[in-house]
Chain A
């Protein structure tokens, strides 16, 4: 029987000031060496983790969104969290040769009326199929060049779900076809018609939803506690 959770978008207004993405993996104790080093075995698989820290929410809209978010999070909601721009994502200047980190404006250079630009969703084509549970796939970087490195976070949008993966190892062929090794393993099968995203989102659950909430200081402004998102295995 399939259980389909409700998925909500993490509110754009509730943007973090600090963020880090980690491909989490458990480990089990393996034994102690003669020198006293406690060796451990890595857990196969594991799941990704995203940690965010927040500043005071300034605007009324952001605070209302925060009010909504704390209650949704308590109900164990699965969030679609778009990773905010930081050094873990491939720099926009490497992808298009110009700085479009804050999105793409209209062709007259103006943003939308709310000050936001068009979303920027660069991608690279996947060149061969990979099975669900595998940890490596190939992608075409012949146009972009060798811009993807270890430590970068990439993602996929498959079957209506969003997945984020950390690049653990990468090698480029002479034609710049990259063989990418990722953690955690692929959650869905890839085919040569899919695209690898440079601006990933992930599906996650707030681990300690009770500590996310702050009070509305002076009745106006809330600060979230540290949000620790753990990958929701949908």
Chain B
């Protein structure tokens, strides 16, 4: 059953959102050049219907060590800067990621939704659904030795800075639309003439009266 159908089945005839109990968790794919990292918001190994295994990032205290910002709807044209961090890596993984940091930029972070039905354990049969995709702009690293009630913990923290695909949409286009420029473009393209911008100059700084008002 497809994700939407399964969700619809769980919705049933409920008329109030509180009557709907659907357990949905987020799964993250960090598509690094050296190999993708698959993690999910939960405990233990999750095996999705396509056979992919995802590593749970919630520890025994219920703390999710994978810090994910709330992703905003990008349709207002903004592209906020998101920081995803993965603390408590082991030293070897940390070193490997640090060695590969130059190729991290431009790689993707993809979020999926997984739907858990009752009695499925960590083996949901519903295919996961794509939620959103981001592009990694850079990676930062930090390491520290912390003392916590007598225990000394050396922690290695990797943070990925990401932007949505709306990034750069507000940049000015590489060119201006004038009649001369447009005719030059037409010539380069091998077209005799292009009158698309003939009236541009005349229309600039002009007050248009609509419906005679």
A residues with CB within 8 A of B: 1, 3, 26, 30-33, 39, 41-47, 74-76, 131-136, 181, 184-187, 205, 207-210, 230-231, 233
Contacts and interface: CB of A to CB of B under 8 A. Distances in A.
Nearest to A209: B151
Given A30-B18, A133-B121, A210-B149, A233 B58 contact: no
Contact of B45 (A32, A42, A136, A187): A187
B92 A132 contact: no
Contacts of B23: 41-44
B47 A133 contact: yes
Contacts of A187: 44-45
A164 to B, nearest CB: 14
A74 B121 CA distance: 32
Mostly helix, strand, loop or mixed at chain A's interface? Answer: loop
B187 to A, nearest CB: 57
B56 A233 contact: yes
Given A1-B93, A42-B23, A135 B45 contact: no
Contacts of B121: 44-45, 133-135, 185-186
Given A39-B21, A45-B44, A207-B61, 8 more contacts: A30-B21, A31-B17, A44-B116, A131-B123, A184-B44, A185-B122, A210-B151, A230-B60
Contact of A133 (B18, B58, B122, B150): B122
Contacts of B90: 1, 3
Query: Chain B, interface size: which category?
Result: 20 to 34
Contacts of B58: 26
B45 A133 contact: yes
Identify which of A1, A135, A181, A186 gathers the most chain B CB atoms within 10 Å of its CB.
A1
Contacts of A231: 60
A205 B151 CA distance: 14
Contact of B60 (A75, A135, A205): A205
B119 interface: yes
Contacts of A233: 43-45, 56
B92 A45 contact: no
